[in-house]
Structure 1
Amino acid sequence: MTPLMENAFAAIRERHGSQSIVRVEEMLETRKQSRHPLQKGAKWIMPGISQQPWHDPYGHPELNPVVHALEANHASIKSELETAWSARRNAFSDYEHYLTRQQDWQALYLFRDGAPVAESAGSVPTAFKVLQEQAVDTEKICPLLECHFSTLLPGAEIAPHCDLWNFSINLHLAVDIPDGCGITVAGETRSWDEGKCLLFDYSFEHEAWNHGTRPRTCLLVDLWHPDTTVPERAALVVLITEIRKLMGDA
């Protein structure tokens, strides 16, 4: 713990109560971490978070407005994405996952580095507006992560891996889904239903593929896990931001 972390944690405890960030503090004590075997590759596992790989996208009242708004606007989101893909391909880039970079995995970012990507507002205005109103303004998005259109080119495969932690959760809006695509999380395989959302805990081992003949695109939104609290989220932002600075990643 650096002095900045200690001071920030003390301020959060003073405001929200002495027990308000106990789970975050326990997470820092690796000997107290309890994790599912299929979360072994994750860096941080905060105790007390549901060990449930797949979630009902309509099962969390906090997240329902995001899910319903994305699904209600799917037609416009898909149309604008198709225009951007054909006319503004230079706005897409190889997706840089923390483990790898893939040319056959393309991304158009709407939120990154703790803020909306303003340049994307003109390319995909409907998705940008929904994200801003339903996830950014409401502070449901995890500012430590991102939102992007994720396009897997034909033949692309994302190898099995765990993401960094369990205190955020990954929402997928199925924007454009050809045959031959799928995703496996903790050994359970599902397919995307175009216009609908999937929700899963990506601290569990997962993989995805496009064995179809045209690109597969989902809109991915990294949201706070609904099992986390407001003070915990504040502490986690301080913690991870400071760690990234110390590691030279910020």
Structure 2
Amino acid sequence: MASEIEKPKHLKNKRRAFVKRNGKKLVRKIAAFQSRQSKVPDTPKIDNKYFPFLSEFTDNWEAIQEEARAVLKFRETIPSFHEISPDQYRLSTESNWKTFVLFGFGQRLEKNASLAPKTAAILENVPDLQTAMFSILAPGYHIPAHKGVTKGILRSHIGLIIPKDREKCRIRVDDTITAWKEGEIFVFDDTYEHEVWNDTDEERVILLFDFDRPMKFWGRFLNSAFLQVMKLTAFYQDPKKNLQTAEERLEAAIRTADANMEAMSDPAG
């Protein structure tokens, strides 16, 4: 029988485990209130009609796809999800799920964004954007069933580079299964159980971004307060530090690649 995935050493910290365990209990209590405050349906998937800003993504998806392809030239340097967020060690293993982050916790990552300027500019128009990334899933990988942290944030996916046998590359949210399609976008509530399969021999690339759920005043107030508290914890501080390291590593890789190209084109070399 296969052994359970072992937690990274720093995640065995008792204080961190206590915060995580009790934080989940608090989040569940808050979720019911956020649901009542929501201005959009509290359903696993939510109709695009509630989010008019999504049309800019579908109108420009090929430009976004082109920038994603350019980023993939540095695939080996792009970090895995658990390298950015160590708490995701159960979902992300080895190099199976890589993430090229453009916005983290509401902050634009300038070095990364400079490699995908059109995508970053479109993302700037998303109301209350929290996080955005190119999500790169390896062939044959399965992301286990899990739930998101807060009902105050919604998630959107747009397909960019999808395997030819796309029906085998899919996401389940609650009891709804969706196969990604290039240029198509959808929104879902990730506090519902969801999991992902790429049962193909091709890589899958999407643009994933999170934004605040449209809510009435007290729902927005509570969500803002919750996120501010989260920013004081290791669950925010660790990814923030790791994102900076990942940006610097990618920048170094780009400099090396540019230097190599220059050396190859130098007739005196």
Give TM-score scaled by structure 2 length. 0.67
Which residue is equivalent to 2:141? Answer: 156
Aligned equivalents of 2:120, 2:102: Cα separation in 1: 6
What secondary structure is seen at the aligned counterpart in 1 of 2:181? coil
Return closer, same or farther for 1:234/1:218 CA change in 2, 3 Å cut-off.
same
- The code of the aligned residue for 2:62 comes to A
- The code of the aligned residue for 2:216 comes to T
Give the Å deviation of 1:165: 1.4
Give the Å deviation of 1:249: 4.2
Superposition pairs of residues 1-250 of structure 1, within 5 angstroms = 34=32, 46-48=34-36, 49=38, 50-57=41-48, 59-60=49-50, 63-65=51-53, 67-86=54-73, 88-89=74-75, 92-96=78-82, 98-100=87-89, 101-102=92-93, 103-132=95-124, 134-135=125-126, 139-141=127-129, 143=130, 146-178=131-163, 179=165, 180-226=168-214, 228-229=215-216, 232-245=219-232, 249-250=236-237
Give the Å deviation of 1:160: 0.5
Q: Where do 4+ consecutive residues of structure 1 move more than 6 Å? A: 29-33
Q: Answer whether contact 2:47 2:187 (CA < 8 A) is retained.
A: yes
Deviations along 1:122-180, one digit per CA (max 9) or x if unpaired, are: 21121111112x11xxx331x3xx11011101011110111111111111011111122
Q: Answer whether contact 1:93 1:106 (CA < 8 A) is retained.
A: yes
Q: Rg: which structure is higher? A: 2
Give the Å deviation of 1:236: 1.9
The alignment's C-alpha RMSD in Å is 2.5
Aligned equivalents of 1:159, 1:237: Cα separation in 2: 29
Return closer, same or farther for 1:243/1:116 CA change in 2, 3 Å cut-off.
closer
Aligned equivalents of 1:29, 1:167: Cα separation in 2: 10
What secondary structure is seen at the aligned counterpart in 1 of 2:34? coil
Return closer, same or farther for 1:64/1:31 CA change in 2, 3 Å cut-off.
closer
Consecutive unaligned residues of structure 2, counting only runs of 5 or more, are: 1-24, 238-269
Q: Answer whether contact 1:120 1:128 (CA < 8 A) is retained.
A: no
Aligned equivalents of 2:28, 2:80: Cα separation in 1: 34
Give the Å deviation of 1:238: 2.5
Relative to total residues, which structure has the larger helix share, 1 or 2? 2
Return closer, same or farther for 1:173/1:33 CA change in 2, 3 Å cut-off.
closer
Give the Å deviation of 1:193: 1.8
Identity of aligned residues (%): 22
Aligned equivalents of 1:208, 1:30: Cα separation in 2: 23
Which residue is equivalent to 1:20? Answer: none
Aligned equivalents of 2:188, 2:158: Cα separation in 1: 12
What secondary structure is seen at the aligned counterpart in 2 of 1:46? helix
Q: Answer whether contact 1:174 1:196 (CA < 8 A) is retained.
A: yes
Query: How many aligned positions are there?
Result: 201
Give TM-score scaled by structure 1 length. 0.72
